[in-house]
Amino acid sequence: MNHDLFADEVPCWEETLCPGALVLRGQALPQVESLLAAVETVVAAAPWRHLITPGGYRMSVAMSNCGLYGWVSDETGYRYDAQDPLSGRRWPAMPEVFRQLAREAAERAGFKGFEPDACLINRYEVGARLSLHQDKDERDYGAPIVSVSLGLPAVFLFGGLRRSDPQQRVALAHGDVVVWGGPARLRYHGVLALKAGTHPLLGAQRINLTFRKAR
Protein backbone atom coordinates (compact mmCIF):
# COMPACT_ATOMS: atom_id res chain seq x y z
CA MET A 1 0.00 0.00 0.00
CA ASN A 2 1.26 3.48 -0.84
CA HIS A 3 0.49 5.47 2.30
CA ASP A 4 1.41 8.73 0.54
CA LEU A 5 -1.78 8.37 -1.56
CA PHE A 6 -3.84 9.05 1.55
CA ALA A 7 -2.01 12.25 2.58
CA ASP A 8 -5.19 14.36 2.42
CA GLU A 9 -6.92 12.01 4.87
CA VAL A 10 -4.24 12.21 7.57
CA PRO A 11 -5.34 14.23 10.62
CA CYS A 12 -2.77 16.60 12.08
CA TRP A 13 -3.09 18.80 15.12
CA GLU A 14 -0.90 20.79 17.49
CA GLU A 15 -0.19 20.24 21.17
CA THR A 16 1.70 22.92 23.13
CA LEU A 17 4.20 21.69 25.71
CA CYS A 18 5.35 25.15 26.82
CA PRO A 19 6.23 28.46 25.13
CA GLY A 20 8.52 27.55 22.23
CA ALA A 21 7.70 23.82 22.19
CA LEU A 22 5.00 22.03 20.18
CA VAL A 23 4.04 18.51 19.24
CA LEU A 24 2.74 18.37 15.67
CA ARG A 25 0.64 15.24 15.73
CA GLY A 26 0.76 13.30 12.45
CA GLN A 27 2.87 15.94 10.68
CA ALA A 28 5.20 13.37 9.04
CA LEU A 29 2.55 10.83 7.98
CA PRO A 30 2.14 12.04 4.37
CA GLN A 31 5.89 11.53 3.74
CA VAL A 32 6.41 8.28 5.66
CA GLU A 33 7.35 6.04 2.74
CA SER A 34 9.70 8.64 1.27
CA LEU A 35 11.29 9.21 4.68
CA LEU A 36 11.89 5.50 5.28
CA ALA A 37 13.36 5.03 1.82
CA ALA A 38 15.71 7.94 2.50
CA VAL A 39 16.73 6.42 5.85
CA GLU A 40 17.71 3.20 4.05
CA THR A 41 19.82 5.16 1.57
CA VAL A 42 21.65 7.06 4.31
CA VAL A 43 22.29 3.96 6.42
CA ALA A 44 23.65 2.07 3.41
CA ALA A 45 26.38 4.71 3.19
CA ALA A 46 26.82 5.36 6.93
CA PRO A 47 25.81 2.15 8.77
CA TRP A 48 24.22 2.01 12.20
CA ARG A 49 26.64 2.15 15.10
CA HIS A 50 26.45 2.29 18.91
CA LEU A 51 28.56 5.22 20.07
CA ILE A 52 30.64 5.19 23.22
CA THR A 53 30.18 7.99 25.74
CA PRO A 54 33.16 9.90 27.19
CA GLY A 55 32.64 7.84 30.33
CA GLY A 56 33.11 4.59 28.40
CA TYR A 57 29.47 3.48 28.22
CA ARG A 58 27.95 2.00 25.05
CA MET A 59 24.80 3.86 24.01
CA SER A 60 21.72 1.63 23.76
CA VAL A 61 20.45 3.63 20.79
CA ALA A 62 22.07 2.87 17.40
CA MET A 63 22.67 5.88 15.18
CA SER A 64 23.75 7.32 11.87
CA ASN A 65 23.95 10.88 10.48
CA CYS A 66 23.44 12.83 7.30
CA GLY A 67 24.01 16.43 6.27
CA LEU A 68 27.09 18.62 6.43
CA TYR A 69 27.83 17.50 9.99
CA GLY A 70 27.25 14.41 12.09
CA TRP A 71 27.04 14.14 15.86
CA VAL A 72 29.58 11.74 17.32
CA SER A 73 30.75 10.60 20.73
CA ASP A 74 33.87 8.81 21.99
CA GLU A 75 36.30 8.91 24.89
CA THR A 76 37.33 12.46 23.89
CA GLY A 77 33.81 13.90 24.19
CA TYR A 78 30.66 14.87 22.29
CA ARG A 79 30.99 16.91 19.10
CA TYR A 80 29.94 17.51 15.51
CA ASP A 81 32.26 16.30 12.76
CA ALA A 82 32.11 16.69 8.98
CA GLN A 83 33.49 13.17 8.52
CA ASP A 84 32.16 9.77 9.52
CA PRO A 85 34.83 8.37 11.86
CA LEU A 86 34.08 4.82 10.66
CA SER A 87 34.75 5.49 6.99
CA GLY A 88 36.78 8.70 6.98
CA ARG A 89 34.36 10.06 4.35
CA ARG A 90 31.90 12.91 4.54
CA TRP A 91 28.46 12.04 5.83
CA PRO A 92 25.77 11.32 3.22
CA ALA A 93 23.94 14.39 1.93
CA MET A 94 20.70 15.22 3.68
CA PRO A 95 17.78 13.93 1.56
CA GLU A 96 15.51 16.68 0.31
CA VAL A 97 12.45 15.01 1.87
CA PHE A 98 14.18 15.32 5.26
CA ARG A 99 15.04 18.97 4.72
CA GLN A 100 11.55 19.86 3.53
CA LEU A 101 9.83 18.21 6.48
CA ALA A 102 12.16 19.92 8.96
CA ARG A 103 11.56 23.34 7.41
CA GLU A 104 7.79 22.92 7.31
CA ALA A 105 7.56 21.66 10.89
CA ALA A 106 9.80 24.45 12.20
CA GLU A 107 7.80 27.11 10.35
CA ARG A 108 4.52 25.71 11.64
CA ALA A 109 5.94 25.97 15.17
CA GLY A 110 6.90 29.62 14.59
CA PHE A 111 10.56 29.20 13.56
CA LYS A 112 10.62 30.41 9.98
CA GLY A 113 13.79 30.02 7.91
CA PHE A 114 15.14 26.91 9.65
CA GLU A 115 17.96 25.40 7.58
CA PRO A 116 19.30 22.26 9.28
CA ASP A 117 22.85 21.19 8.48
CA ALA A 118 22.76 17.98 10.56
CA CYS A 119 20.28 15.14 10.95
CA LEU A 120 20.84 12.51 13.62
CA ILE A 121 19.10 9.23 12.80
CA ASN A 122 18.51 7.12 15.89
CA ARG A 123 17.26 3.52 15.94
CA TYR A 124 15.59 2.36 19.15
CA GLU A 125 15.10 -1.35 19.66
CA VAL A 126 13.16 -2.74 22.62
CA GLY A 127 14.74 -1.53 25.86
CA ALA A 128 16.76 1.28 24.26
CA ARG A 129 16.46 4.65 25.95
CA LEU A 130 17.91 8.15 25.89
CA SER A 131 18.86 9.66 29.22
CA LEU A 132 17.85 13.18 30.20
CA HIS A 133 20.12 15.77 28.55
CA GLN A 134 20.35 19.19 26.90
CA ASP A 135 21.35 19.75 23.27
CA LYS A 136 24.33 22.07 23.82
CA ASP A 137 26.89 21.00 21.20
CA GLU A 138 25.52 23.41 18.57
CA ARG A 139 27.16 26.80 18.10
CA ASP A 140 23.92 28.74 17.67
CA TYR A 141 21.02 28.18 20.04
CA GLY A 142 18.83 30.47 17.93
CA ALA A 143 17.70 27.61 15.69
CA PRO A 144 15.13 25.08 16.96
CA ILE A 145 15.39 21.31 17.29
CA VAL A 146 13.01 19.28 15.10
CA SER A 147 12.44 15.64 16.12
CA VAL A 148 10.46 13.14 14.01
CA SER A 149 9.08 9.85 15.37
CA LEU A 150 8.59 6.79 13.13
CA GLY A 151 7.66 3.25 14.10
CA LEU A 152 6.83 2.06 17.61
CA PRO A 153 5.37 4.57 20.08
CA ALA A 154 7.65 6.09 22.71
CA VAL A 155 7.42 8.25 25.81
CA PHE A 156 9.29 11.53 25.40
CA LEU A 157 10.46 13.23 28.59
CA PHE A 158 10.40 17.02 28.42
CA GLY A 159 11.73 18.85 31.45
CA GLY A 160 12.92 22.32 32.36
CA LEU A 161 16.16 24.26 32.23
CA ARG A 162 17.53 22.33 35.21
CA ARG A 163 17.95 18.57 35.35
CA SER A 164 15.98 18.50 38.62
CA ASP A 165 12.93 20.27 37.15
CA PRO A 166 9.70 18.27 36.77
CA GLN A 167 9.29 16.44 33.47
CA GLN A 168 6.30 16.03 31.21
CA ARG A 169 5.73 12.54 29.84
CA VAL A 170 4.65 12.95 26.23
CA ALA A 171 3.37 9.92 24.30
CA LEU A 172 4.71 10.03 20.74
CA ALA A 173 3.20 8.01 17.91
CA HIS A 174 4.31 7.17 14.38
CA GLY A 175 4.41 10.41 12.34
CA ASP A 176 4.52 12.84 15.27
CA VAL A 177 7.01 15.72 15.17
CA VAL A 178 8.25 17.67 18.19
CA VAL A 179 9.74 21.15 17.74
CA TRP A 180 11.37 23.16 20.50
CA GLY A 181 13.33 26.40 20.37
CA GLY A 182 13.41 29.95 21.63
CA PRO A 183 12.79 29.93 25.41
CA ALA A 184 12.50 26.12 25.31
CA ARG A 185 15.68 25.47 23.32
CA LEU A 186 17.83 24.30 26.26
CA ARG A 187 15.23 22.30 28.12
CA TYR A 188 16.25 18.87 29.31
CA HIS A 189 14.69 15.97 27.42
CA GLY A 190 15.01 12.22 26.95
CA VAL A 191 13.18 9.04 25.94
CA LEU A 192 12.03 6.24 28.24
CA ALA A 193 13.02 2.65 27.44
CA LEU A 194 11.17 1.46 24.33
CA LYS A 195 8.45 -1.08 25.09
CA ALA A 196 7.99 -4.29 23.12
CA GLY A 197 5.66 -4.16 20.16
CA THR A 198 5.41 -4.55 16.40
CA HIS A 199 4.84 -1.71 13.96
CA PRO A 200 3.39 -2.63 10.53
CA LEU A 201 6.15 -0.78 8.65
CA LEU A 202 9.15 -0.94 11.00
CA GLY A 203 8.60 -4.03 13.11
CA ALA A 204 10.03 -3.97 16.64
CA GLN A 205 11.81 -0.64 16.42
CA ARG A 206 11.47 3.12 16.44
CA ILE A 207 13.35 5.48 14.14
CA ASN A 208 13.91 9.07 15.24
CA LEU A 209 15.14 11.86 12.97
CA THR A 210 16.53 14.87 14.82
CA PHE A 211 17.31 17.99 12.79
CA ARG A 212 19.69 20.66 14.07
CA LYS A 213 21.67 23.69 12.96
CA ALA A 214 25.11 22.64 14.18
CA ARG A 215 27.27 25.42 12.78
| 1 domain-assigned | no
How high is the pLDDT of residue 12?
81
| 200 domain-assigned | yes
How high is the pLDDT of residue 195?
98
- Half-sphere exposure for 39 (CA within 13 Å, toward CB): 22
| 4 domain-assigned | no
Q: Where are the beta strands (DSSP E) in the chain?
A: 13-18, 21-25, 62-67, 70-74, 77-81, 118-125, 130-133, 145-151, 154-158, 168-172, 177-180, 189-191, 205-212
- Contact partners, residue 101, CB within 8 Å, separation at least 6: 27, 28, 31, 35, 146, 148, 177
CATH number, position 66: 2.60.120.590
How high is the pLDDT of residue 1?
33
pTM equals 0.93
| 9 domain-assigned | no
**Each residue of 93-109: b (16+ CB within 10 Å) or e?**
ebbebbbebbbbbbebb
Give the range among 5-14, 95-104, 126-135, 206-215 with minimum mean pLDDT. 5-14
pLDDT exceeds 80 at position 3: no
What digits encode the pLDDT tens for the residues 18-45?
A: 999 999 999 999 999 999 999 999 999 9
| 2 domain-assigned | no
Q: Which domain holds residue 116?
A: 14-212
| 5 domain-assigned | no
Please state the domain count of the chain.
1
pLDDT exceeds 60 at position 8: no
| 32 domain-assigned | yes
| 130 domain-assigned | yes
pLDDT exceeds 60 at position 7: no
What digits encode the pLDDT tens for the residues 55-65?
A: 999 999 999 99
Average pLDDT score over the chain: 94
What's the pLDDT band for 4 if we cut at 50, 70, 90?
very low
What digits encode the pLDDT tens for the residues 151-161?
A: 999 999 999 99
